[in-house]
Structure 1
Amino acid sequence: MKTFSKKKFILILIILFIVFAGVFIYQWWQTKKELTEENINWKTYRNEEWEFEFRYPENWSFHEDTFYSPFSKFNLAGAPIGERYQIDPPLLINIVTLDFADSYVINMKNLGATTSDLIVGGIRGTKYEYIFESIPQVDINLSLGEYLMILGTKKQYEDIFNQILATFKFLE
């Protein structure tokens, strides 16, 4: 009887391993995209201090530290060249303290955000989809140890956002 239970236990462990491996591979595959003719001529943004890089369309521009906040250690705003925005850029990368991160997660829950897990540049993160001031938005949170990287966009830019995310790398 003990042998049967042991075999059953091992079989269950193997099945669980296969399921978790399948989920991990699926998530990795969803974020991994090959370069297409459309994005071969893209530019590369590289940040040595925060150790990441990504590619972006040549008709976009990115600007560092566009606003000040005691919680933001670094921010990078991106938009199509010539597009004007006051406060909320089409694409924002913000590296924040964990103090801010805690309240941010609470705010996402209060906004009724739907969440899903994903992997960006080899780091597991959480995707939040929500509506803020009648505008659908998408944010992705990636833990960087003592900081949190928030990558955000408006829903209307989600296709280009996903293409940029597919090129996102953390430097070693």
Structure 2
Amino acid sequence: MSEHKHFLNKKFIVTFIVLALLGSGAYAGIWYWGNQKYSFKDMNPVFTPRPDPTADWKTYTNTQYGFEFKYPQTWAKVSSASYADGTPHLIIYTDMYPAQDYDARVDVYLDNLKSVQDSNPLFKGSIGSLTIINNVSWVKYQVKGLNGNLLDGFDYLTEHNAKTYDIGASAITANQILSTFKFTGASVSPLPVAGNGILMGHADVGSICPVQQSGVACTPSPQANMARQVGVFTQAGALVSSQHLDANGNYQFSLVPGIYTIKASGMQVDRLSVTKGTVTIKVGQTTTLNFSIDTGIR
């Protein structure tokens, strides 16, 4: 009888321990999942505004001809001048000791765009491509050498208030000007292009830091953005138009209706080698294509 009672006591103790372990395990599980639920519930994403990479740039303003643009503080000199025929222009030096007479120029012709295109040997007989940068429509020409070869220089022409504005520079320098160029005063609007549609978007350029730390934003510099290109191609693979991103990583094209393939430069900034998508352009409509560009830098 005593042995049987002792056995029951042992059985009771074992059962009690098992139940206690199960109870504590269940409590721990409820506590854990309760905390997990609480943590997930309280994890609200924090969105920080994209910093303006041109915030510390200087501003050049021309009140006589109604335009302004921003430029890096590292640029050496921006000065007004005029040609022998009286055409006003702006001379820009990005370096203190430039390799040539100037690094960029802004000419103002007191005539309409067609007259300038027909009379200037730089543009006469050439076919320019239409591009929109910072809400201003430009006709883009690539500069040719004496033997007809293409150089790393471009002229961007636009008409405003019966005057033609011509910005000439290398690709990166021109885009530094164009990305913030705007007309001031009354009647400010881009050139209307009848029958076209708009393609626009933003490219996130990265990674551009040696090490990207979790939770720390890695903002590309204006130069990193403007070194990258976006190109518009026909379905057959022919290049229709191309441009560099502006200082904020934005781009915009005015295109005739059709289906186009969009490519961008990646690790090789001078090659439009990475396909970003296919778009259909319709008359009077705006199509948006945003994408990322991996520079390969880690």
Question: What interval of TM-score do these two structures reach, taking the shorter chain for normalisation?
Answer: 0.5 to 0.7
Counterparts in 2 of 1:1-20, with a 5 A limit?
Answer: none
1:166 aligns with 2:179: yes
CA distance in 1, matches of 2:141, 2:135: 18
Q: 1:126 aligns with which of 139, 155, 158?
A: 139
Counterparts in 2 of 1:20-169, with a 5 A limit?
Answer: 36-37=52-53, 39-60=54-75, 61-65=77-81, 67-70=82-85, 72=87, 74-84=88-98, 87=101, 89-98=102-111, 101=116, 102-104=118-120, 106-110=121-125, 113=126, 115-133=128-146, 135-154=151-170, 158-169=171-182
State the 1:103 CA deviation: 1.3
CA distance in 2, matches of 1:50, 1:115: 24
- Give me the TM-score of the superposition, normalised by structure 1: 0.63
**Structure 2 residue matching 1:107: 3-state secondary structure:** coil
**Which residue identity does 1:122 align to in structure 2?**
N
Gaps of 5+ in 1: 1-33
Q: Which has the higher helix share?
A: 1
Q: Residues 71 and 96 of structure 1 are in contact (CA less than 8 Å); yes or no, is this contact kept in structure 2?
A: no
CA distance in 2, matches of 1:114, 1:130: 12
Q: Report the count of equivalent residues.
A: 129
CA distance in 2, matches of 1:125, 1:145: 15
**Structure 2 residue matching 1:50: 3-state secondary structure:** coil
Segment of structure 1 superposing worse, 93-102 or 122-131: 93-102
Percent of aligned pairs with the same residue? 24
State the 1:140 CA deviation: 0.4
Q: Residues 154 and 174 of structure 2 are in contact (CA less than 8 Å); yes or no, is this contact kept in structure 1?
A: no
Summarize deviations over 1:58-115 as a string: whole Å, max 9, x none.
Answer: 11121101x423151x20011124123554x2110000133871312x53245xx552
CA RMSD of aligned residues (A): 2.6
**Structure 1 residue matching 2:122: 3-state secondary structure:** helix
**Which residue identity does 2:122 align to in structure 1?**
N
Q: Residues 108 and 130 of structure 1 are in contact (CA less than 8 Å); yes or no, is this contact kept in structure 2?
A: no
CA distance in 2, matches of 1:70, 1:141: 19
CA distance in 1, matches of 2:66, 2:142: 26
Change beyond 3 A, Cα 1:85–1:49: farther
CA distance in 1, matches of 2:108, 2:51: 27
CA distance in 2, matches of 1:159, 1:44: 18
Change beyond 3 A, Cα 1:36–1:123: closer
CA distance in 2, matches of 1:42, 1:91: 17
CA distance in 2, matches of 1:143, 1:71: 19
Gaps of 5+ in 2: 1-49, 186-298
